[in-house]
Structure 1
Amino acid sequence: MQNSEFFGRRVGIALSGGLSSLAVGARLLEDGHDVVGLAGYLGQCEPAEFDSFVDTVRASGMPVRTVDLTPAMATAALDLIAFDGHYDGGYWNTTGLSREVIVAGLADEFHDAKCEVLAHGCVGGGNDQRRFERNGARYLPDIPVFAPWTDPEMRAKMPDRAAMAEYLDRRGLVPMPGNTAEHSIEGNLAGVSHEDASLEDLRTTPRALPRQLGVAPEEAPDSITTLTIGIERARPVELDGRRLPPAELLRQANLIAGRCGLGLVDVFENRVNGTKCRGVYEAPGMQLLSSAVRTAYETVTDRAADELRRTLSRVVGVSVYEATTGSLAARAARAGLEEMARLVNAVIELEIYKGAVIGRAIKDVDHAAQVVHQRRFAGTGHNWASGPLTVSSAAWNGS
């Protein structure tokens, strides 16, 4: 679809604060299109920064509707932890996950604003272009999606990121911090991705990359940080005995794990279009919380269940990355994992030191878990004794 094909039809553009989507929206508006900005707040920055960004866009003449998507983003992230749905190299799918949250979360505003075309700023031929198309087909059926960087007319006006940055500067528009012609940051409550020319050179290590959600391991405290994480049905619900809503729990986990140097992964992933690409991601809270959940799973699942869990988790991880979470395979995988998650109720203690989880202890566990614990020194001393897995007398509801 080219922009000349939808003159007279209202365009809703998904704005997250990135350079590209802002440039597309401003260009369409200047070209005479009827454009409405749909801005979802996913925790990609401080609330005041987001409000300032929205005010600037509105001042340029574009109406903007905003939606707080942090509760949905946090719930989706904790579900992904429960399903162990990471992708290649331990990437926690924070970008792919956010695309579904954005399209699903903005669908009501899209209809309420009487928009007829969904636009985005994603790079032509990349993962996100396909994610918007697939999520659009699921949550906004029969709505055409405008992929700007596959449109020759749009590309002629802004052939590269430098041209986009120059155009926005002339218009007095500023993207979120960190988004420049040389560097792109895609962030939300669950994590941050980094892209730039230097990282596309595989000889470059991302070790010196300025982190958005924490510090490098060598800058972390010299003492061990100990934290307990309460888990119900494989979802983290408590930090150090404090029960928190999903969004606040994820924020606190990011703060704790970030200052301890956790969370940066450098992966070479298999992309939706069949190519390979380097990805550099931060997700300290996801790394921390998933370490506790995996410990709980190891404690309460037998070998057959654990092997099945790993297979189903891979299906979920791929479906989030490829935006096929509505497929039969993905839905069946989630249903199977939910059955296992019923018994994943525990309190796990983790010890964190300079970018690593160095110790773990099971402080409490669901007594309904059908596994047998074998021990020697706590038994006869001469023979291995077996019995039900027990830690303490605390009661969990495993029904």
Structure 2
Amino acid sequence: MKPKKIVLAYSGGLDTSVILKWLIEKYQCPVVAFCADVGQEEDWEEVRRKGLACGAEEVIIRDLKEEFVAEFIFTALKANAVYEGWYLMGTSLARPLIAREQVKVAREVGADAVAHGATGKGNDQVRFELTYAALAPDLKVIAPWREWAFEGREDLIQFAEAHGIPVPVTKEKPYSIDANLFHISYEGGILEDPWAEPPEDMFQMTVSPEKAPDEPEYVEIEFERGAPVAVNGERLSPAALLQKLNEMGGRHGVGRVDMVENRFVGLKSRGIYETPGGTILQVAHRALEHLTLDREVMHLRDSLVPKFSELIYYGFWFSPEMEALRAFIEETQKNVTGMVRVKLYKGNVIVAGRKSPVSLYRQDLASFDEAGGYNQKDAEGFIRLQALRLKLQRREGI
């Protein structure tokens, strides 16, 4: 069925500008261009002007930075979520938020269809469309890269020139970039060779660790119930706090990752990431948990981290299993309150101290120099019971 009105997730770049014009021509209906500000540096008035010039009925821009950090990034932080050991998932966390807001805009303007510019090879198409399915299954989904005959950038440029869409005259970057307040990712082009070292002039958020200051910088981060609330004694909003740590970490070359990851669609892809503030927060958060989190609760939560991370990466933020996991993770964080001091130096984040009013650490019990309330003789029976099954196996020749 032909849609009556479409809301397009629009960035103002070549791809989504061509998609905007293509949707209007193909479906002969109004298209609303929706832009999500999740911390990428854009001239939003220029984006609005370009969208209207390409035929959008209207251009709607929403500032989602605080929601992005508070609801999505900090939730992942509380879980210590990392995909395949390295990736802090800056893109993965942004997509469900953008798609959720796109659905809201569709309801507000009376649209019956949504569209995105993700390609048929990547993860983003899945993240967008699983969110649409979970929140608005009645909306028609249009994915132009899976429908049209265009095969690459040259085809898009020809279409743009034929339709009066401005094409950037700047030299094409030899890789693709996705940026938001949490990270910048780089992939494709010259980076597709996993043996090739990325060019130093590529990085935008961080200096090279070799060129970082020779003096370390100390940072104190305060947490309440697992979420960071202050840096060096200054209470900040979630977005402002992350921005401050991005600047600090960037000065010291913190947060660079170069990995080959497994995409949900089955391909392997080389990605390079800069996540300075997020890297600082993850190290500090884990250090505070070591002080405040019960051993068995921590181990149980840690056993679920790979699954939780996978659900984020695959796009299942709004799934019932994710809702259950988030509730459990929030429960684990109720006593993760206190202060962590870290040292930033030459690409490293080094824990230099931690304290908490609800610490489970007891110096008198842990000390080798104090008797405290621990009777060392109790360990004899504990070890004997632990060893019982091992002795039985040896005795029976199993």
Could you tell me the TM-score, scaled by structure 2's length? 0.86
State whether residues 7 and 105 of structure 2, in contact with CA within 8 Å, keep that contact through their aligned partners in structure 1. Answer: no
Give 3-state SS (helix, strand or coil) of 1:185's partner.
strand
What per-residue deviation string (whole Å, max 9, x for no partner) do you get for residues 156-201 of structure 1?
2x310233245445634367x9994743211111111112211111
Q: CA deviation at 1:30?
A: 4.4
Q: 1:375 to 1:355 in 2, by over 3 A?
A: same
| 1:52 lines up with 2:43 in the alignment | no
Q: 1:210 to 1:384 in 2, by over 3 A?
A: farther
For residues 148 and 326 of structure 1, what CA distance do their matches in structure 2 show? Answer: 24
Q: Which residue of 1 aligns with 2:146?
A: 150
Q: Paired residue for 2:254, among 225, 243, 262?
A: 262
State whether residues 283 and 351 of structure 2, in contact with CA within 8 Å, keep that contact through their aligned partners in structure 1. Answer: no
| 1:41 lines up with 2:34 in the alignment | no
State whether residues 20 and 54 of structure 2, in contact with CA within 8 Å, keep that contact through their aligned partners in structure 1. Answer: no
Q: CA deviation at 1:98?
A: 0.8
Give the letter aligned to residue 78 of structure 2. Answer: A
Q: Which residue of 2 aligns with 1:20?
A: 15
Larger CA Rg, structure 1 vs 2: 2
Alignment of 1:54-73 (within 5 A): 54-62=48-56, 63-73=58-68
Q: Which residue of 2 aligns with 1:223?
A: 215
Q: Which residue of 2 aligns with 1:197?
A: 189
Q: Which moved more, 1:66-75 or 1:27-36?
A: 27-36
Q: Which residue of 2 aligns with 1:245?
A: 237
State whether residues 79 and 305 of structure 2, in contact with CA within 8 Å, keep that contact through their aligned partners in structure 1. Answer: yes
For residues 306 and 94 of structure 1, what CA distance do their matches in structure 2 show? Answer: 24
What per-residue deviation string (whole Å, max 9, x for no partner) do you get for residues 73-92 of structure 1?
11111221112122123211
Q: Paired residue for 2:204, among 207, 212, 221?
A: 212
Q: Which residue of 1 aligns with 2:388?
A: none
For residues 361 and 370 of structure 1, what CA distance do their matches in structure 2 show? Answer: 15
State whether residues 312 and 337 of structure 1, in contact with CA within 8 Å, keep that contact through their aligned partners in structure 2. Answer: no
For residues 244 and 227 of structure 2, what CA distance do their matches in structure 1 show? Answer: 15
Give the letter aligned to residue 136 of structure 2. Answer: L
Give the letter aligned to residue 110 of structure 1. Answer: A
For residues 179 and 271 of structure 1, what CA distance do their matches in structure 2 show? Answer: 29
- Report the aligned-residue RMSD: 2.4
Q: CA deviation at 1:21?
A: 2.4
Q: CA deviation at 1:18?
A: 4.3
Q: Which residue of 1 aligns with 2:102?
A: 106
**Identity of paired residues, percent?**
31
Q: How many residues were matched structurally?
A: 370
Q: CA deviation at 1:249?
A: 0.8
Q: 1:284 to 1:168 in 2, by over 3 A?
A: farther
State whether residues 95 and 127 of structure 2, in contact with CA within 8 Å, keep that contact through their aligned partners in structure 1. Answer: yes
Q: CA deviation at 1:125?
A: 3.6
For residues 284 and 228 of structure 1, what CA distance do their matches in structure 2 show? Answer: 15
Q: Which residue of 2 aligns with 1:305?
A: 297
| 1:127 lines up with 2:123 in the alignment | yes
Q: 1:341 to 1:174 in 2, by over 3 A?
A: farther
Listed as ranges, the gaps of 5+ residues in structure 2 are 376-398
Q: Which residue of 2 aligns with 1:376?
A: 367
For residues 305 and 270 of structure 1, what CA distance do their matches in structure 2 show? Answer: 29
Q: Which residue of 2 aligns with 1:390?
A: none
State whether residues 165 and 180 of structure 1, in contact with CA within 8 Å, keep that contact through their aligned partners in structure 2. Answer: no
Q: CA deviation at 1:244?
A: 0.4
Q: Which residue of 1 aligns with 2:166?
A: 173
Q: CA deviation at 1:376?
A: 3.1
Give 3-state SS (helix, strand or coil) of 2:287's partner.
helix
